[in-house]
Structure 1
Amino acid sequence: MSGAGGPALGEEAPGFTLAASGGRTVSSASLKGEPYLLYFYPKASTPGCTTQACGIQEALPALGKTGLTVIGVSPDAMPAIEKFAKKYDLTFPLASDPEHQLAEAYGTWVEKQFMGRKYMGFERSSFLVDRNGKVAAIWRKVKPGEHAAQVLEAARALP
């Protein structure tokens, strides 16, 4: 599967269990009955990913008031993720999906192109999952600087 598919609005969100920053493990089972945001980002410590992560970190107090849990997911190995989280004081979990199984389930493992070279990588995308485990909002090709505000607005609208 390469970049095709993923869940549609209103569909059941794919399940997951992943290692995350701070020695944590994140799983869809542990979030049952709670809304959460899975945001897929291409690479820790790159400019766009840093802008996006820091924006979400700034919005965490407001997002917390909505009951939303935020989980960032990248293909990076845990050492790179831990370094990224520590450098920018990111308190929400950043999960590692090195085999891109979750990214494939969400349709965010896609062919990309940079300077004429084609390769497979994570599309910067996010999925808001409601308390019933259904996909409530989808953002594809996210603009890092605008993302936190979009998520907050959608989270506030959840029933």
Structure 2
Amino acid sequence: MSDVKLEPGDTAPAFSLRNQDDQLVELSSLRGRNVIVFFYPAAMTPGCTTEACDFRDSLAPLQSAGYEVVGISRDDTAKLREFRERDALTYDLLSDPDHAVHDAYGAWGEKTNYGKVVQGVLRSTFVIDGDGRVSDALYNVKATGHVARIRKLVGLDA
């Protein structure tokens, strides 16, 4: 379990993960651009599909405002590819099977699932500036309505 909780101003933990096409994606390769990194529990589940499609539907305005979007889950690259194709997602989905990057961002820990305390993904989103610093760290977010909140945070919607 991770006790990490990132705060605005912290340096975003570096990562190097495989995307849905089995290509390596490194946070450092996105330096100079603003990046929205969201951690979600599992591809093709109802809540994660809602969140992923909301990001897809907001991608053009986010990109116009200078933001890239990447999603990270524990799913393998084949499942991520299937998810991306099924829902016409137009941004990278990254595989973190051992949840090391989840741990580094504080997106893994204790949560209650159907009344039981379990270890798992804490649905979380981070806005990272072009210098690699955390602008916003949002933990335990809800899938529905979350992207609208991000849009406001980054100044797209007043």
Query: TM-score band (shorter)?
Result: over 0.9
| Matched residue type, 2:41 | P
Structure 2: distance between partners of 1:91 and 1:115: 32
Structure 2: distance between partners of 1:36 and 1:154: 13
The residue that corresponds to 2:128 in the other structure is 129
- State TM-score, norm by structure 2: 0.92
The percentage of aligned residue pairs carrying the same residue is 35
The answer (yes or no) to whether the contact 2:2–2:104 under 8 Å persists in 1 is no
The residue that corresponds to 1:83 in the other structure is 82
The answer (yes or no) to whether the contact 1:24–1:93 under 8 Å persists in 2 is no
Q: Which stretch shows the higher mean deviation, 145-154 or 32-41? A: 145-154
Unmatched 5+ residue regions in structure 2? none
Q: How much is the aligned-residue C-alpha RMSD, in angstroms? A: 1.4
- How far is 1:33 from its partner? 1.2
The residue that corresponds to 1:58 in the other structure is 57
- How far is 1:156 from its partner? 3.0
The residue that corresponds to 1:69 in the other structure is 68
The residue that corresponds to 1:145 in the other structure is 144
- How far is 1:115 from its partner? 2.9
The residue that corresponds to 1:105 in the other structure is 104
1:41 matched to 2:40? yes
Render the CA deviation track for 1:59-98: whole Å, top value 9, x for unaligned: 0011011110100000111111111111000010000000
| Equivalenced residues, count | 156
Structure 2: distance between partners of 1:139 and 1:17: 22
The answer (yes or no) to whether the contact 2:21–2:77 under 8 Å persists in 1 is no
The residue that corresponds to 1:25 in the other structure is 24
The residue that corresponds to 1:94 in the other structure is 93
Q: Which stretch shows the higher mean deviation, 43-52 or 14-23? A: 14-23
Render the CA deviation track for 1:6-45: whole Å, top value 9, x for unaligned: 3211111100010012343221110111110110000111
2:154 is paired with a residue of what secondary structure?
helix
- How far is 1:114 from its partner? 2.1
Unmatched 5+ residue regions in structure 1? none
- How far is 1:142 from its partner? 1.2
Structure 2: distance between partners of 1:115 and 1:144: 17
- State TM-score, norm by structure 1: 0.92
